[in-house]
Structure 1
Amino acid sequence: MPRVSVQTEDFDLSKEVAVLRAGDARVGAVCTFVGTVRDRNEGDAVASMELEHYPGMTEKSIEAIIDQAVARFGLYGVRVIHRVGLLAPMDQIVLVAVTSAHRGMAYQGCEYIMDYLKSLAPFWKKEQTPDGARWVDARVSDEQALARWTADKQD
């Protein structure tokens, strides 16, 4: 199974975790994050979200993020699925699943990958609101979350 999938179809969390940890007796921790489409953003109702990406470049960018996380946190396995296309509120958008020996490294590795996905991965999001379509930029809070990993490296 590839570490990265960018796809239109939904995913099954249980299946993905089972495959990720299958046969690896070293695994003492599994951490997952599933992001979903909300029905509101910045105070406005959201009817749908459309995600676009640059095929090839997107997967390469996510693979580089995973390589950094594996080296930094000693992760054993990583699986990232990011959906593209038209999504509705409550649809799953993204899965980050990691395995490691201990929970602390699994939590940090999962969060590190997700912070990079939210801030730097080449995805473009367009929301449909009552006032029309709008492109969604990275939030200041996402940029701040990412910055702490860089600050951690400099300590």
Structure 2
Amino acid sequence: MVNPARADALVDLVYGGLIALAIVLIATVDTNVGIAFGVGVFAAYVVHVVWKMVRFDPDWMTRTVRETVEETVGDSVERTVEESVEQTVEESVGETVEQAMGDQLDEVQERVESLDERVEGTPRADEVGDADEATDSGEGADDTRA
């Protein structure tokens, strides 16, 4: 009975020899024939390596697929969460700023209207009381009667 490790080593050496033969065919006979032979040998070698991996570690494919799916889904979820949080924060900040600016705009508008009234000569209610007192006491009147 042949030792499995020796059989695997022998098969690997045979594949190496076949790949070397493909290189010789490419260089000497015909490029197309050598490339076709080399591609066939390489495809067979890939099948052999996959078979060996399955034989020595049956869960390698399941584990590899699981890891790939976890990475892909994790990246996708992370990207989606980032976009959602960013959009929510932008909307919330925008609404807060608009509300604060709206309150300030109302206050500024009231001040502008008040100033407009003063510039047009319409005194405020507290100014009217001060002007009446000044006129009654004679402080605000012009002394041009002399």
Q: After TM superposition, is the score higher than 0.5? A: no
Name whichever structure is richer in helix by fraction.
2
Scaled by the length of structure 1, what TM-score is found? Answer: 0.25
Structure number with the bigger relative contact order (C-alpha 8 A, sep ≥ 6) is: 1
